[in-house]
Chain A
Amino acid sequence: MEQADEARLLERIRSDQPGAFESFVSLFEDRIYRFGVRMCGEREDARDVLQDTLLQAYKSLKTLKHPGALRSWLYRVAANACLMKRRKGKFEPERELSLDDLGPRDPDEPRAEIPDPAALPDEALARSELRQTIRKAVAEVPPHYRIVLVMRDMEHLSTAEVAAALNLPETTVKMRLHRGRLMVRQRLEAALTGEGAAGEKR
């Protein structure tokens, strides 16, 4: 759904049109749940994230000031709900990870090639070990990088939307996205080469 359609939906919610909030729920519930699973790793937690986010939306959507910012607002609420689920730790790192450990390995070392997604049939990803390997690689990325990675590469928010949702400068979003991708790349390569423990040595 385009931003303009989302803004129209928000207008319908604001003017209490019948079925408007239900349309909103249908439109976003799978996305918010998926986001919760990817961020929290547990279905129970994802359910709470979905529930908290939709309840908050019901209470606050009518007063949202910028209709064009619906998605950013929604993911901000969902991100906060995920944060509440974290029993320890935090989203903000003490310092950003250095790129030095995330680059190419020695070209002489044997390594598996990451498969070309364009050459993979849908079924290959739907039931293969590869899907589990990718999910595990994402789950191992520290949360403050993973949240940017999930929003950008899996939920397809723009850099500006992620920046607004997480209240971060766009430069920080880009930097964390790059590190998140590099970590997934490194873990995928290690797992496919049969070195599941690589990348854990830091």
Chain B
Amino acid sequence: MSHAHSPGSPRCKELFARLSEYLDGELDEALCSEAETHLEDCPPCRDFLESLRRTVGLLDRLPEERVPEEIRREVRESLERLRRQRGA
């Protein structure tokens, strides 16, 4: 069966198009179990899935940037001006 899983095989391409939905748990039960069966038998697809999972994980782990203080102050001053204009 391994020849059916060479990169570019129709089964691999089908799964490849939906890997994000698989990662996000958005595939329906039938498609999900089909994907899992394929992944069990197909090391290249498994490796690719892992690299995609890591990519998504790295995006999630990027340190969160905060508004620089001078910009925070500037924006709050604009809001205050608008508030005064509107007589709130």
Are both chains from one complex?
yes
- Contact surface of A with B, Cβ cutoff 8 Å: 21, 25, 29-30, 33-34, 37, 43, 46-47, 50-51, 54-55, 58-59, 99, 103-104, 107, 113-118, 120, 122, 125-126, 130-131, 134-135, 138, 149, 153-154, 159, 174, 177-178, 181-182, 184-185, 188-189
CB A81 to nearest CB in B, in angstroms, measures 12
**Residue numbers in B under 8 Å from A116 (CB-CB):** 54, 57
Residue interface bits B19-48, CB-to-A below 8 A is 1, else 0 = 111001010000000000000000010011
Knowing A55-B82, A185-B52, say if A174 contacts B21 (CB, 8 Å). Answer: yes
Residues in chain B near residue A138, CB distance under 8 A: 59
- The interface of chain B, by Cβ under 8 A from chain A, is 7-8, 13, 16-21, 24, 26, 44, 47-48, 51-52, 54-68, 71-72, 74-76, 78-79, 82-83
A182 cross-chain contacts in B, Cβ below 8 A: 52
Closest to A118 in B: B57
Cross-chain contact B26 with A131 (CB below 8 angstroms) = no
A159 to B52, CA, bound (A): 18
Sorted nearest first, the 4 A-B pairs with minimum C-beta distance are A117-B57, A178-B20, A185-B55, A33-B67
Nearest-neighbor residue (CB-CB) of A152 within chain B: B24
**B54 contacts A30, C-beta separation under 8 Å:** no
Q: Are A178 and B63 in contact, with the CB atoms below 8 A?
A: no
Question: Does more than half of chain A's interface fall in helix, strand or loop, or is it mixed?
Answer: helix
Asked whether B75 lies within 8 Å of A37 as measured between CB atoms, the reply is no
Q: How many A-B residue pairs lie within 8 Å, measured between CB atoms?
A: 115
Chain A residue at minimum C-beta to C-beta distance from B66:
A30
> Which chain A residue has the least Cβ–Cβ distance from B60?
A153
Please, which residues of chain B bring their CB within 8 A of the CB of A130? 58
29 pairs of residues in contact across A and B, judged by CB atoms under 8 Å? A25-B76, A30-B65, A30-B67, A33-B66, A43-B68, A47-B75, A55-B78, A55-B82, A58-B79, A58-B83, A99-B13, A103-B7, A104-B48, A107-B7, A114-B58, A117-B58, A117-B60, A125-B63, A134-B59, A138-B59, A149-B59, A153-B56, A178-B17, A178-B20, A178-B21, A181-B20, A181-B52, A185-B52, A188-B55
